[in-house]
Structure 1
């Protein structure tokens, strides 16, 4: 029996239980032992691969360990890139080969039927030309004719059975190959797809995966040994604890700026309006924004006690300068006046201190000197929005 610790082992066994895609396929590059998998997290559904057979068996230091979610995703993407076009081509080729074999069988039966019918017709002519008085000859010719008819009927029955057993042409041939590839990925990623089926697919095309950690580059190094002898190396950044479900840095940076003039409820609405989700893929709520701020130590928005806000949105900043919101927005986009626009569908943010500096005053003077573009809206015009993007 081949030892599990032998690097040349080609027997990785049946798919293991659990969601870990590579359970039983990963091998440590440093010691040659297979990596084990354990599940962590609140629901015990987050796999983590570790090489600690040496620790358990001989008390040796543990070699390597890393989270399994990113590794499984990388292997899945690599496998789908390899399998999708190959699977479609192989399926089409196999279907064509089977159809060709069916056609060859039916052609052979058709030729046999033609020969049997010719033999039956020839036997009938011989029987018909025989002298009825010669009973022995007539009886023999009649027996030959009957045997030829039975042979033809037997072949006709075989052709009918063959046509009945032949399935209808598959509709796969009419589908686009790219659509099939998309469907394959969709089926793979569907939550109803059995994890054991995915593992069987992986074990069909992958012999094993040799894993190591590049400590200098902080990367996980994977060498995929495909069935057939081809090798592929993947390098993945090593994930920090809790990083997979963490909020995107861009969202955190936007929240740091939005708290200058918006409360948590309003920030949640702005994030949802921009189509942004939490690290777990949920929509934002006031409670989730509050939790994000608390975790990253972002201060909460508090209105100024004297009513003089240090940060203004586009509408209030334009009113302070006495210009239209369009004039101020174009100046901010051109960089003439310093302003912050954290999200495409969100408010502009201006510091009150910046609006008192010469660039802002010059903008006001230029707007007043150009009668074609009024400096502001009519005092009687009502504003339907509290903030303008």
Structure 2
């Protein structure tokens, strides 16, 4: 067995009610708090107890380069020494990015892949506490932050071990109020982020363990969480699925679903998880077809069969059963196809060309051509 590295936050705190520990935790990390939150920062401010943040940043949408630049300037002017991010993946990515930029005195474009200079992050970030309120992105345990660059029409990442939060505090009770549409899109993102690392050529025994557990838990809990938001057991399972997916992707990479979704997300205004959901079954089909034609001895085919058993709970399930399960689940959660969220068929060739150069493609189990990716986009539309 080959050696491997495993990158995770310094501490991961998981369990119902653990968000109540935040107020006592913060003074051990810093005194001047930047609170990054969603559209309504007052919603979870009580979690800080008696601590009054010196700066507050609202993140109402997926962050752009300019959003993060402005948030960093606000935090720097306020003399912030610890960042608390409470919200969905966009909030957590903003908090992590700001913490890194404050620690390095740099600009987002200094480090951003593809559209920026891609300079490695050299110095540690300020301490960041990541508190997810959705079960989907796993951003509380990932070593990247995704930023949109509207002028380039893409989303790209800052990547570094310094992006790992000092503390990931995961309390499933914070997800109980997620509306069904958010539960569906974020939950399908979590499932994707367990599936893609599991079939990645960069998988290792540790990522296999968490990815398999995430697939199993997510498959049995996602529809229940969508249909019965108050189901605490289902919410806990989905929070674990998200957490495990984040650990898996941070260490084994993603694949073509995220490679394409990152480009689509830069062109249309649609939830990232919903875009991933529309792409998931078509990408699995394209990968399996390419593997059978070009690399029939690839261990990825065995892994896809294992994915099928994990998703369906059936020992006799084959790869086609996984595709059917994915299609049925996406339909049951009312996820719209890409054409319905604004992606035009005329854009498919451009999306495929950009996606083929995406860093996420490095985790795909087989090389997909631009023609393969156009076929995926047609099937997802």
TM-score (norm 1): 0.22
Report which of the two has the higher share of helix.
2
Larger Rg: 1
TM-score by length of 2: 0.22
